[in-house]
Amino acid sequence: MPWSDLLNCRERLPANPDLAEGYAALLEHLGPVTPFDLALRGGRLMSSPGLAFLVGYQAALRALWPSAPPSLGALCATEQRSLRAADMQTRLADLRLSGRKDFVTAGDAADWLLIAARSEAPGEDPRLSLAVVYAGEPGVSVEKLPPLPLMPDISHGRLHLEHALCERLAGDGWDAYVKPFRSLEDIYVLSALGAWLYGVGQDSQWPQALQLQLLALLAGCAEASRQNPSASSTHILLGGLFAQFDGLKAQIQQAFAEGPQEWAQLWSRDQSVLEIAGGARAKRLAKALAGLAPLSA
């Protein structure tokens, strides 16, 4: 991606209450893009942190599954707030899915859904597969849930599967998909929200030093996006990026306080989205650091 596309951008797309239509309009505006381009340029164009998050989430899905359709999608893994295979009740058998996923980001607007499901034979240890279903197909229904205080412009839903026909993706559901997606989501959501902040900084004439520091953060995100999301080294790089972002928080808060209040209110409402996965991210970082070769005496 030419960085000049970001540096010279002075526009923002209007919010669309229909998330699927809004995402389609973004893709039409951007043209063909890589996942990182989508997160960076798309995040800059969004009118709220929530919409920037959604763009980063879509970018992460495409990094995970390069063959993903261009329309809005979602990954459905969590059940009862757990990602452990042993805790999941959703089952895959003979290319049919049955079960429930309790929290699906933009689930009511998604055109396709990636489902993590148990697929082991009776008596075997829990094993996950990943399958895709499409909205509106028999046995696939999404119950829209009330908006949350955090990112209320991004809907979420509960997915119900009743013997739904699916396509099974190649590879182990945990190692090839669910596990790496946690790091991919961190990378691309940080990229999209960083680009949104940079855009607000441009529009609000934040101090040049802060704008340059945000650009440096985004450059680091670009490098992280090129790494294997399952590698320990990537977890360490990602930890460094979040530490870099944490070091900017006081400057960002001061800049918002001195600028238009509509931007400050949006950021105050939604900024904690970056903290949701903080505990799991810290555990991955600690494990990666513990695996480093010791310093020689």
* Model confidence pLDDT, tens digit, residues 141-174: 999 999 999 999 999 999 999 999 999 999 999 9
- On whether both 25 and 107 belong to a single domain, the answer is no
Predicted confidence (pLDDT) per residue in 39-72, tens digit: 999 999 999 999 999 999 999 999 999 999 999 9
What residues make up the domain containing 121? 73-168
| Domain count along the chain | 2
How far apart, in whole angstroms, are the C-alpha atoms of residue 17 and residue 21? 8
**pLDDT at residue 294 in the model:** 78
Taking the alpha carbons of 60, 65, 71, 77 in that order, is the dihedral positive or negative? negative
Other residues' Cβ atoms within 10 Å of the Cβ of residue 239: 18
- On whether both 126 and 265 belong to a single domain, the answer is no
- On whether both 52 and 106 belong to a single domain, the answer is no
Antiparallel, parallel or unpaired: β 73-76 and 140-144: unpaired
With contact defined as beta carbons under 8 Å apart, do 96 and 121 qualify? no
Q: Quote the DSSP letter at residue 174.
A: I
- On whether both 55 and 188 belong to a single domain, the answer is yes
Kindly report whether the global pTM for this prediction surpasses the value 0.85.
yes
**pLDDT at residue 248 in the model:** 98
**pLDDT at residue 1 in the model:** 60
Answer with the one of 147, 168, 189 that is the final residue of a domain: 168
Structure tokens at 276: 């949701």
R_g (Cα) of the chain, nearest Å:
20
List of the chain residues with pLDDT < 50: none
Q: What is the CATH number of the domain that holds 125?
A: 2.40.110.10
